[in-house]
Structure 1
């Protein structure tokens, strides 16, 4: 992977950190997100994430959900807001992203103790927890290539409950 694109999918992006704020109305609610350089789409929310959030299916009953590769956390935070009785995990390898996600959980979900942020590569932080999810949600880092994405897709079923769903957004031109 070249240096230009490695930053947001790296554990410790090599960037000078500047904090930004994004305000977005999603599913009829206004959210405030802190972002920093070195995190995917740090200046404004990307269109794919916006469209995905507006159309993702959220279980009506309390569930266990995962925002995989959460970035600064918009997908997982909306899941936590829309389904406050559910347990939501947000995972990202990028430590700057996890810092943002933690801050954004505090800002947008002040009293929700059911939303957890974990640092690690894909499922690594939860392997020992033996968790199964009702829903796994993702805006995958497609700059890593189709081969990596397909490898991930093939492992998803191991982490889903029998009636669980894997929902994701992709742009065709990004290699999927």
Structure 2
């Protein structure tokens, strides 16, 4: 089994092109009751495991619709995308990241688990005008508040009418202030609420009413 090297000190998982060596590591994981064989590598978010925030989201988010267009924003190696695709095989799951290695790993993991309904790529690879019935995300809080706000306000307005987004954010990294900001920043066509709390994380629900 390959050894996972720690990322270089100056490298972040949200780098477009990780400079660390691409050393693949095979694991089996359980995602909302679905067993999956996956590969991870250096230079991507939570290369060693399903991270705690994502685990909280997968444990608490409600059952996704059977079909529709779904978005995994900041997909990493694809844990959320795989969970959505395995739970709703008739849905189309768009997995978006800036990290080229993360995109490649998500594509590989989709192939390993027979999930032809996962479409991994950069933001520009998502069809213009596409609206999403569902968005799940463990957003990259550490990119900074301004960049995070820009990211969320790029994608949350692309919820379809009566669509839902579920975001998992650590309480001590500003989940409650982010919730208040979203409620102010989004129009009155949206509702923002706390959906669940667990292990130091909040799951934020955003509902587009119309």
TM-score normalized by the length of structure 1: 0.86
Tell me if 1:134 matches 2:139: no
More displaced, 92-101 or 148-157? 148-157
Counterparts of 2:55 and 2:109, CA distance in 1:
16
Structure 1 vs Structure 2 CA RMSD: 1.9
Tell me if 1:39 matches 2:44: yes
Counterparts of 1:61 and 1:32, CA distance in 2:
23
Counterparts of 2:129 and 2:19, CA distance in 1:
33
How many residues align? The count is 168
Counterparts of 1:60 and 1:142, CA distance in 2:
27
TM-score normalized by the length of structure 2: 0.73
Counterparts of 1:56 and 1:22, CA distance in 2:
24
Counterparts of 1:166 and 1:60, CA distance in 2:
12
Q: Which has the larger helix fraction?
A: 1
Identify which of structures 1 and 2 has the higher relative contact order when contacts are C-alpha pairs closer than 8 Å and 6+ apart.
Answer: 1
| Residues 131 and 68 of structure 1: CA distance in aligned 2, closer, same or farther (over 3 Å) | same
Q: Once superposed, which parts of structure 1, at least 4 consecutive aligned residues long, lie more than 4 Å away? A: none
- Equivalent of 1:83 in 83, 88, 101: 88
Q: Write the mapping of 1:80-159 to structure 2, written as runs, cut at 5 A.
A: 80-108=85-113, 110=114, 112-118=115-121, 120=122, 123-126=123-126, 128-159=127-158
Greater C-alpha Rg: 2
